[in-house]
Amino acid sequence: MVRNRKASDADAREKRWYQKIFNSLLLIINNKSIQKKITYVYLLCVLLPTIVTNVIILGSSIRISAREREANINNIADSVSREIVKSLESAVYVTVDLYTSISMNDFLDRQYETDGDYFDKYSAVFNNFVFYASSKHLISDITFYSDNSTMINGGKYYRIDSVQEEGWYKAFHQAGTDLFVYSYYQNNKNINNKKRMVSVIRKLDYIGLKGKEKLVKLDLNYPQINESVGSSAYDTTVYVCHGDRIIFTNTKEEVGINKDFLKTSEINKKDIQACRDVVAYGSDWKVYVTGYRSNFMASFKHNLLLMSVLFLADAIIPAIMLALFSNSITRRILLLGQYFEKIKGEKFELIESEEGKDEIGELLENYNHMSLRMKALIEQELKSKLEQQELILARQQAELLALTSQINPHFLFNILESIRMRSVLKGEEETGCVIESLAKLMRKSADWGTDYITLEQEIGFMKDYLELQKYRYGDDFHYKIRIDETFYSFKIPSLVLVTFVENACVHGFNRAGHYGSVFVSAYQKEDYLYLEVEDTGIGMEMEQVEKLERELNEGDISSLQKSGSLGMLNASIRLRKFNGEETRIFIESKTGEGTCIVIRLPMKGYLVEMG
């Protein structure tokens, strides 16, 4: 406990020591004028850091340039080395496939009785391998050799005895390996066939008769590899050597492939900046990089005057500008900040003093305009919102009342007309039953008390209406309702579905002696509820269908006065207002067969819980 108390006392004394120094410095700064504070800031935060930074950057730049030069040279040497290994790997991978190929070894070992047998087998085997080899863009040619005397020289095959005097064949046998990389200058009498060659030679003794000598020789695409080496060299000169010859290089004198290889003695050893030893598949290569130039010092000397001017600008211009701006900006910005603090407390006071005509002066003047405008806008916005809300509520209430008032008489008049016609055709005995059904419908309408009801309530209303229609038309009229109870809680405006059913009965069956059937169904697809009202009535022409569909989906309150389909347009407008603008009505109809009206309603947000 004593030890802990001593440590705590020591920390407190140390804290008090630092705090005293900080408070002393703060007191000195607080007693200085703003101009002196700006001077201290300039000396400590601008001039001194500028000098130190420039010195550090200059020294670092020299060191970085040296490391970068060395890294770039090594990267170029490594890149060229990888390019050589990749090129050789491309050929070696092909020889591996050929080495293990049963069909190729069978072809080379087989004894052919006739030339025809040979050519048939030749075409079947070589076409596949030649196509395969040609797909490797770093390989220019592929040739097979064997000591099979029944085979014919030509194409991609030659007998061993025809190449025994070739330099590449002798070098391969002298090396005594199964896989051999050989570079040479092909100096044929035909001038067009003189070129530099780099070939990969491999024995094909994996399977088959071990006594027969079989070889495959893959010639690399020398121009493309040489171009790849040049692309990897960037702005340097590279030499890729094999033995005592320069095989690949990007020097301008060596761009042609029809010249013999130069000797490595042509390279000035003093110019070599990087060297890599590359061993690939038993073949030794050397990569030399020369001619890399670092332009840092030349650029530094060239820009020394500019650097001096920039240094002086970094030191002098901030001093002048800080002196000018400190008095011009700080005071007025602080003043503006004070008045903005007042705005947080919803006090819109004006800055009355003249503060210049520059941007800050205009800012102060604009603050005054803003303050007045914000005060007026707040009052105006509150008033406008109240008025707008009242207008919106009044308009919506008037529109919905108008729509409902158009539907109820329109529907009831049709019911009464059905009763009247039936009473004429039949005796008075059934009139009471019809009036009772009508009373039920009117009683339901009076009990709802709202324009929006559940689909279950609408189905009940629709069944009563269809029963009346069945009473009117007799046994020639049929209807069926297929709506799952899952959708009963879905809310829609009242009388809308009945309106479409009524349209099917009144207009769909208006041909004498033809009544048919009405089918009402519902189903869900993705996020939408689909209601279908289908009849087997007289149908409509396509032109009439398109016009009616456009009217129902695009009509508004003003369209009711001009519409010939008052009831359905009324229902579609109310559906869009309640169920959202995603509501759509689709019509399918065929003359003489009937009409199907599909109502698509968005599911989200319109289901109610069934208690």
Candidate from 74-83, 147-156, 277-286, 368-377 with smallest mean pLDDT:
368-377
Residues 6+ apart with CB under 8 A from 355: 332, 335, 361, 364
**Mind listing the pLDDT tens digit for each residue in 223-272?**
888 888 888 877 788 989 988 888 888 887 655 567 888 888 888 888 88
Cβ count near 12 (within 10 Å) = 10
User: Residue 424 above 80 pLDDT?
Assistant: no
Measure the CA–CA gap between 511 and 500, rounded to whole angstroms. Answer: 18
pLDDT at residue 127, rounded to an integer: 67
pLDDT at residue 603, rounded to an integer: 86
Measure the CA–CA gap between 249 and 237, rounded to whole angstroms. Answer: 7
Measure the CA–CA gap between 337 and 12, rounded to whole angstroms. Answer: 39
Q: Which two tokens stand for residue 176?
A: 């005594």
User: Residue 393 above 60 pLDDT?
Assistant: no
Q: Which two tokens stand for residue 34?
A: 């703003």
Work out the mean pLDDT of the chain and round it to a whole number. 76
Measure the CA–CA gap between 356 and 493, rounded to whole angstroms. Answer: 65
Highest mean pLDDT among 69-83, 125-139, 346-360, 436-450: 69-83
User: Residue 520 above 80 pLDDT?
Assistant: yes
Highest mean pLDDT among 97-101, 119-123, 513-517, 531-535: 531-535
User: Residue 191 above 50 pLDDT?
Assistant: no
Strand partners, 601: 529
pLDDT at residue 610, rounded to an integer: 35
User: Residue 16 above 60 pLDDT?
Assistant: yes
Q: What share of the chain is helix, strand, coil (3-state, %, to 5)?
A: 60, 20, 20
pLDDT at residue 398, rounded to an integer: 44
Residue showing tokens 């211009």: 317
Calculate mean pLDDT across residues 294-320.
69
Q: Give the DSSP H/E element, type plus range, for residue 262.
A: strand 262-263
User: Residue 214 above 80 pLDDT?
Assistant: yes
* pLDDT classification of 514: cutoffs 50, 70, 90: low
Nearest to 254 by CA among 241, 270, 243: 241
Residues 6+ apart with CB under 8 A from 350: 368, 371, 372
pLDDT at residue 386, rounded to an integer: 65
pLDDT at residue 487, rounded to an integer: 92
Say which amino acid occupies 550.
R
Measure the CA–CA gap between 105 and 209, rounded to whole angstroms. Answer: 9
Nearest to 249 by CA among 223, 274, 269: 223
Question: Pairing mode, if any, of strands 157-159 and 179-186?
Answer: unpaired
pLDDT at residue 483, rounded to an integer: 93
Question: Pairing mode, if any, of strands 452-454 and 245-249?
Answer: unpaired
Instruction: Tell me if the pTM is above 0.75.
Output: no
Highest mean pLDDT among 16-30, 363-377, 382-396, 443-457: 363-377
User: Residue 87 above 70 pLDDT?
Assistant: yes
pLDDT at residue 530, rounded to an integer: 95
Candidate from 93-102, 199-208, 279-288, 293-302 with smallest mean pLDDT:
293-302
Say which amino acid occupies 5.
R
Calculate mean pLDDT across residues 542-559.
84
Calculate mean pLDDT across residues 344-365.
70
In 34-123, which ranges are E strands? none
Nearest to 108 by CA among 142, 141, 148, 143: 148
Question: Pairing mode, if any, of strands 283-290 and 272-280?
Answer: antiparallel
Calculate mean pLDDT across residues 421-427.
62
User: Residue 447 above 60 pLDDT?
Assistant: no
User: Residue 208 above 70 pLDDT?
Assistant: no
Cβ(544)–Cβ(563) below 8 Å: no
User: Residue 190 above 90 pLDDT?
Assistant: no
* pLDDT classification of 53: cutoffs 50, 70, 90: confident
Measure the CA–CA gap between 200 and 80, rounded to whole angstroms. Answer: 19
Distances (CA, A) of 121 to 38, 204, 338: 95, 18, 98
pLDDT at residue 264, rounded to an integer: 85
Nearest to 469 by CA among 436, 426, 422: 422
pLDDT at residue 608, rounded to an integer: 44
User: Residue 410 above 70 pLDDT?
Assistant: no
> What does DSSP assign to residue 216?
E
> What does DSSP assign to residue 45?
I
Cβ(534)–Cβ(508) below 8 Å: no
Strand partners, 548: none
Q: Report the alpha-carbon angle 38-43-44, nearest 5.
A: 100
Nearest to 569 by CA among 559, 579, 580: 559
Residue showing tokens 């001077």: 39
**Mind listing the pLDDT tens digit for each residue in 128-152?**
665 555 555 678 888 888 888 888 8
pLDDT at residue 585, rounded to an integer: 94
Cβ count near 186 (within 10 Å) = 16
pLDDT at residue 534, rounded to an integer: 93
